[in-house]
C-alpha cells in the first residue's frame, strides 16, 4: 500500500497534522479523498471526525475526509497576513475531467 501526503508540526497548536490519500469506497463521488489526522507525539494518531466533504450514499456518517485530490502537499504559512489563506495545498485533481491537473488551494484551517 502506498500512502501519499504529508505531515507538518503546527508550532502554534503544538500538534502534528497529516493529510493523506484514502479510499472513498461508495461514500464519495470520487475514489480517493484526502484524509486528515492529528497527533500530539507523532506516533499515536487520531482521526478527528471533522469530515468537511459531503458523502453521497446512505445516511450521513462521521469521517475525516477533507478534500478531493491525489498527492496532497499542505503547508501552514504563518507569514501570510490574510487568515483565509493561512494553509496552502498543492494537489492533483482527477475529476471533473476539464479540471484535471495540479491545483493550488488555500484555506483558513487546512480542513475547508
pLDDT band of residue 71 (cuts 50, 70, 90) is confident
**pLDDT score at 57:** 63
Cross-strand bridge partners of residue 91: 103
Question: Does the pLDDT of residue 1 top 50, yes or no?
Answer: no
pLDDT in tens, 17-61: 999 888 777 777 777 788 899 999 999 999 998 877 777 765 567
- Alpha-carbon distance of 79 to 64, in angstroms, equals 27
pTM metric for this prediction: 0.84
Question: Does the pLDDT of residue 11 top 80, yes or no?
Answer: yes
Question: Does the pLDDT of residue 84 top 60, yes or no?
Answer: yes
Cross-strand bridge partners of residue 10: 15
Residue entry with cell 491525489: 70
What b/e sequence results for 36-51 when a residue is b if at least 16 CB atoms lie within 10 Å of its CB, and e otherwise?
Answer: bbbeeeeeeeebeeeb
Amino acid at each position: 500500500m502506498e500512502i501519499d501526503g504529508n505531515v507538518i508540526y503546527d508550532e502554534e497548536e503544538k500538534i502534528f497534522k497529516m493529510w493523506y490519500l484514502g479510499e472513498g469506497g461508495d461514500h464519495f463521488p470520487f475514489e480517493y479523498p484526502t484524509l486528515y489526522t492529528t497527533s500530539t507525539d507523532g506516533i499515536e494518531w487520531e482521526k478527528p471526525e471533522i469530515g468537511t466533504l459531503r458523502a453521497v450514499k446512505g445516511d450521513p456518517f462521521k469521517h475525516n475526509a477533507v478534500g478531493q485530490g491525489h498527492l496532497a502537499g499542505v503547508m501552514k504559512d504563518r507569514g501570510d497576513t490574510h487568515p483565509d489563506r493561512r494553509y496552502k495545498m498543492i494537489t492533483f485533481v482527477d475529476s471533473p475531467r476539464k479540471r484535471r491537473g495540479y491545483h493550488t488551494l488555500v484555506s483558513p484551517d487546512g480542513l475547508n
